[in-house]
Amino acid sequence: MAEAFQLYEALLWEPPSGYFLLERHLRRLSESAAHFRFALDPGAVRTALDERAAILPDRPRKIRLELSSDGAIAIQDVDVRPSTPVRVALAAAPVASEDEFLRHKTSRRGVYERALASRPGADDVLLWNERRELTETCSANLVLEIDGRRLTPPVSSGLLPGTFRCHLLERGEIEEAPLAIEALRSASALYLINSVRRFCELRLLDGEATR
């Protein structure tokens, strides 16, 4: 029997503008629901989000919107963590670039949990695939600054098409390019990007760029 899982979206809510990149999040949720054949009532999702927004405190909040296969909706909210530098290390083993669950935001997080467990001294872990291409971190998309260009791995490397990533690509602020692990040596800066924390500086633990 297949393991049950939920789809989810992590959104930033901040006053007075409300939900950041809401339409992108709802579009991705709809696409994932269609892919996995989950029941989805878009109107009910919007209503649930509006009802939660009406009772939120007057400060930024991270919203977790969860969808079960039968269409049930659950929402939680927590404070947004400060965007302080994140210490990262390379995962001990590769991910499979063809794994469909890497391309959808779900509660099935075994790949990420194993990667984090493999590098207990790091705050987050850089994932890479069977071709030794960097993909993402366990919590966000990845950007390397090389020769003045901000580069992010393509979805074909095996990663989540993040909403903030798509936003930046459309604005021309980042570019897609396959990035070998060795690219870490020539990067002048590394960033974690997602729609809740936006840009967050990454710092490699000692020796990681030469592994």
In this prediction the pTM is 0.91
Domain 86-210 classification at class level = alpha beta
Q: What is the DSSP letter of 94?
A: P
Question: Are 139 and 164 a contacting pair, CB within 8 Å?
Answer: no
Q: Residue 2 has what pLDDT?
A: 60
Question: Are 186 and 146 a contacting pair, CB within 8 Å?
Answer: yes
Q: Residue 83 has what pLDDT?
A: 76
Pairing relation of β-strands 198-204 and 189-194? antiparallel
Residue 1 — very low, low, confident or very high, per pLDDT cuts 50/70/90?
A: very low
Please list the residue range(s) of the chain that carry CATH number 3.30.470.10: 7-79
Q: Residue 210 has what pLDDT?
A: 47
Q: Which of 209, 111, 200, 92 is nearest to 158 (CA)?
A: 111
Question: Are 142 and 154 a contacting pair, CB within 8 Å?
Answer: no
Please list the residue range(s) of the chain that carry CATH number 3.20.10.10: 86-210
Q: Residue 209 has what pLDDT?
A: 53
Average pLDDT, the chain: 94
pLDDT digits (tens, 9 = 90+) for 84-143: 889 999 999 999 999 999 999 999 999 999 999 999 999 999 999 999 999 999 999 999
Q: Fold for domain 7-79? A: D-amino Acid Aminotransferase; Chain A, domain 1 (3.30.470)
CA dihedral angle for residue 15, residue 16, residue 17, residue 19, rounded to 10 degrees: 30
